Structure 1
Amino acid sequence: MENAAAAGRFAPTALMLGNVVTGCSVLAPAGMLPELASGLDISIRTAGLLITFGAITLCIGSPLTAWLTSRIERRTLLTATLAVLALGNIASALAPDYTSLLVIRLVMLAVGALYTPQAAGTAALIVPAEKRGSTIAYVFLGWSLAAAVGLPLITFIASRYGWRAAYAEVGVLGCLSFVLLALRLPAGLKGTPVDLKTWADVGRSRIIVLLLAITMLQMSGQFVVFTFMGPLLKTLTDAGPDAIGLVFGLYGLCGFLGVAIATRIVDTWGPYKTSVLFTSLLLTGVAGWALTSGNFAAMAAAVAIWGLGFASTNSMQQVRLVTAAPALAPATVSLNTSVLYIGQAVGSAIGGALFGRELPHASGFVAAGFVAVALAIVVLTRPRAAVQV
């Protein structure tokens, strides 16, 4: 009985570490675009399509897999998903060419689309209602750690030992996370089944539709720059691999700090006020990148401010969706993840087009425009009832 209680107590941490693996799997190409381009004899823009096509797969796969797997016991579902991510990254390390790498990535992410929304929904099942917001935010710390530690490490390893070694690193991490989740997540957890009526109810909710629009705009803006952050820093400031890795680390470290602060204040402030704060920080950072373009120190400082908002804003989106309609949470959380990946696809495609046309300075201003519209919609969703969402 004591062992079972201990397992349940550490379950949120196990779920969070699974998000580290998921985040690294999704973001990995961004940390090694030059190495992928030179190693596979392709352009940097073509290497960036690994992110664009991967995001398209994720945005389709997230709601589809939520519907197809909603009746499966959560520990079985989540551990199987981590196993696929681990094996997919190991297979990526062995890919003979770009086409093979792209196919492996798309298959891996089609299944990996399950993890983040299902982890958030599972977190809501294992804690009391009053702890739900902070626990979901904690689980999303995994994405911050992926950016704070995983992405700089990927950049470091790829620049010294090649992109294959970087993929192998993520694969090993996936194997470890799989074991931890299997040991710590309680068995027998099942969420509310998702059916066609659930999707219809989601579509009729004005607040949910607006919240989903916020997520898409926030992510579109960020990925205009983030997908090509390394090459952009090289082009604009002549930064080397170590300096680029430092900026990625700063981004992720501040993301970790932002989510930690959001986790602390959300239960007191409410998710709306917390969302306004961190979306404002996000806009300040992205606008700062655009306005200081060419100055490495100033751009790094802007990335730090941007980092405070990047993961915390998405965590607040998840919390607001769960709070707005708890019964619809399995569908809304998966849809939020889906539109997040739509945003990644849109942003990385626009960023690739701008990079390919040698317009690096324009990227920041386009990114800031997307985030400014997102903040405006956040303000429009100010709750009028006593309960904040």
Structure 2
Amino acid sequence: MAVSALPPSAQAPSDPPPRSAKAVLFALAMGGFAIGTTEFAAMGVLPEFARGLGIDEPTAGHVISAYALGVVAGAPVLAVMGARMSRRVLLIVLMAMFAVGNGLSALAPTYEWMLAFRFLAGVPHGAYFGVASLVAAGVAEPGKRSQAVSRVLLGLTVATVVGVPFAGFVSLIFGWRWTFAIVSVLAILTMALVHALAPRDPPQPQASPLRELGALANRQVWLTLGVGAIGFGGMFAVYAYVASTLTAVTGVGAEVVPWALGVFGLGMVAGNIAGGVLADRFGMRAAAMLLIWSAAWMALYPIATPALWSILVVVFMIGAGGGLGTVLQMRLMDVAGEAQTLAAALNHSAFNTANALGPFLAGAAIAAGWGLPSTGAVGCALTLGGLAVWGIAWLDGRRAPLLADKAVQQC
């Protein structure tokens, strides 16, 4: 599949970064760490804030959905609105919104206010990762753009191993509100780091909302988003029910569940690092490799559920398939032409669409009486669906140059 070059304005900042590229990537990854902590820790403290707000747990689950809806809605809107801003300034503004949303979540007096505040906290999520990925690619060494972007996403995956358990520990001692308060502090720390370390790029007056919206006319952008929205749904189909499967099928105690989720998180960390290397070497072909990898391990998941050792191995391998995120992030940045910010931000709208689709279909399979292990089969089917969309994108990418050559010959 052909990969178009980034426009010059997207390849590097106008001024060199004031510090080393590693320092810049650390600052950007800190924001990913804050976002990953709030996104996954909110699921862990759901029973606590359900009791605190006087609601049942199924109703409290709507709070999680409100955050995801904020991500889906906020990514394109903020990317378009911030098109002309300095990327460094835009990152600080986005983290400020994130800090406010989580701070207010810590103070929410009622369920209705909690819904509103979690939606607000989710709004800057996708735009932050999109803009941070562009900045990371701009400071990267030649040939290592994907690895630089993977370092930004590494903050999110490390949060599943470090941030989420720490937030849960604090919640048990001091109460669930401190989980969101800690995330707000992490967001403020990110603002300070980005202010001090990120390249001081000027505003981009040549950019415009209309130019950013031009990404939506590109078939390759939509097809890449389709790969993520469907293919990533497989991972979430399994992840959403791992805890229930461990206790009800594998037969382990509830105290083992956090460790198992930590194993999944370690798989995501490893996969994220590998995804950056694969994307730099193989481009969009790396997406097919990771989708096939994930589908194979998800097919094994139902067989692995009776024994703890086997389910942990498979869960780790499925988590490693999360490296797909870096590959798709780079692909969107490569095919978007001048509409860099919107395309990069939309990756996380697709990611959260998958977060809704996978658990919904897996839940339907369980409700139909197929049992908790069937989530692996659902995940495998979704991942293969993402692979099918990848195949369409690959054929479309090969067809476009042929049509262009034919048009030149006719002229």
Q: Same fold (TM over 0.5)?
A: yes
Report the equivalent of 2:64. 51
CA shift, 1:43, in A, is 3.6
Q: CA deviation at 1:356?
A: 7.4
Per the TM alignment, residue 107 of structure 1 is displaced from its structure 2 partner at its CA by: 1.3
Give the structure 2 partner of residue 363 of structure 1.
375
Please give the alpha-carbon distance, in whole angstroms, between the structure 1 residues aligned to 2:158 and 2:42. Answer: 16
The structural deviation recorded for 1:82 is 1.6
Partner of 2:320: 308
Q: CA 1:162–1:141 in 2, change beyond 3 Å: closer, same or farther?
A: same
Give the direction of change, closer, same or farther, for the CA distance of 1:198–1:75 in structure 2 (3 Å limit).
Answer: closer
- State the partner residue of 1:199: 213
Over the residues paired in the alignment, what is the CA RMSD in angstroms?
Answer: 2.9
1:283 alignment partner, one of 289, 295, 302 = 295
Alignment of 1:287-302 (within 5 A): 287-302=299-314
Asked if 1:222 corresponds to 2:235, the answer is yes
The separation in 2 between residues aligned to 1:14 and 1:44, in whole angstroms, is 36
Q: Does 2:28 align with 1:15? A: yes
Equivalent-residue separation in structure 2 for 1:136 and 1:4 (angstroms): 16
**2:335 counterpart residue number:** 324
Give the SS at the match of 1:5.
Answer: coil
Distance in 2 of aligned mates of 1:159 and 1:240: 18
- Greater Cα offset, 187-196 or 177-186: 187-196
Q: Is 2:81 the partner of 1:68? A: yes
Alignment equivalent of 1:32, drawn from 45, 61, 64: 45
Q: Give the CA deviation at 1:214.
A: 0.3
Match of 2:155 in 1: 142
Counterpart of 1:93 in structure 2 is 106
- 235-244 vs 25-34, greater mean Cα deviation: 235-244
Write the letter of the residue equivalent to 1:324.
V
Q: Percent identity?
A: 25
State the alpha-carbon separation in 2 of the partners of residues 13 and 31 from structure 1.
26
Counterparts of 1:167-246 in structure 2 under 5 Å? 167-190=180-203, 193-200=207-214, 202-246=215-259
Could you tell me which of 331, 343, 347 is aligned with 1:336? Answer: 347
Task: Tell me the alpha carbon deviations over residues 219-238 of structure 1, each in whole angstroms, 9 at most, x when there is no partner.
Answer: 32222333454344344445
CA distance in 2, matches of 1:334, 1:283: 26
Instruction: Report the Cα distance in structure 2 between the residues aligned to 1:89 and 1:355, rounded to whole angstroms.
Output: 33
- C-alpha distance 96-293 of structure 1, shift in aligned 2 (>3 A): farther
Query: Which residue of structure 2 aligns with residue 257 of structure 1?
Result: 270
Residue 375, structure 1, aligned to residue 375, structure 2 = no
In structure 2, give the amino acid aligned to 1:109: G
The change in CA–CA distance for 1:21 and 1:109 in structure 2 (over 3 A counts) is same
SS in 2 for 1:319: helix
Q: In structure 1, how many angstroms separate the alpha carbons of the residues matched to 2:160 and 2:298? A: 16
Instruction: Report if aligned partners of 1:236, 1:294 keep a CA contact under 8 Å in 2.
Output: yes
- Normalised to the residue count of structure 1, the TM-score between the two structures is 0.86
The one-letter code matched in structure 1 to 2:333 is V
> Residues 150 and 272 of structure 2 are in contact (CA less than 8 Å); yes or no, is this contact kept in structure 1?
yes
Distance in 2 between residues matched to 1:38 and 1:88, nearest whole Å? 21
Ranges in structure 1 where 5+ consecutive residues have no aligned partner: none
Secondary structure of residue in 2 paired with 1:275: helix
Code of the residue aligned with 1:318 in structure 2: it is Q
Per-residue CA deviation, residues 175-198 of structure 1 (Å, 9 max, x unaligned), is 322222221112225467243354
Whether contact under 8 Å (1:34, 1:44) holds in the other structure is: yes
Aligned to 1:78: 91
2: CA distance, partners of 1:251 / 1:167? 23
Cα contact 2:365–2:374 (8 A) shared by 1: yes
Q: Distance in 1 between matches of 2:17 and 2:317?
A: 41
TM-score by length of 2: 0.82
Q: Residues of 2 paired with 1:370 and 1:327: CA distance?
A: 31
Counterpart Cα distance in 2 of 1:326 and 1:128: 21
Any conservation in 1 of the 2:246–2:305 contact (CA below 8 Å)?
A: no
CA distance in 1, matches of 2:289, 2:184: 36
C-alpha separation in 2, matches of 1:245 and 1:288: 22
Where do 5+ consecutive residues of structure 2 fail to align? 1-15, 402-411
Counterpart amino acid of residue 92 in structure 1: S
Q: Distance in 2 between matches of 1:357 and 1:151?
A: 32
User: CA offsets per residue over residues 50-89 of structure 1, 9 Å max, x none?
Assistant: 2222212211111111111111122222122222323332
- CA deviation digits over 1:249-290, x for unaligned, max 9? 1111121111222323432x3222322222223223333333
Letter in 1 for 2:269: F
Instruction: Name the stretch that deviates more: 151-160 or 182-191.
Output: 151-160
Distance of 2:337 and 2:199 partners within structure 1: 21
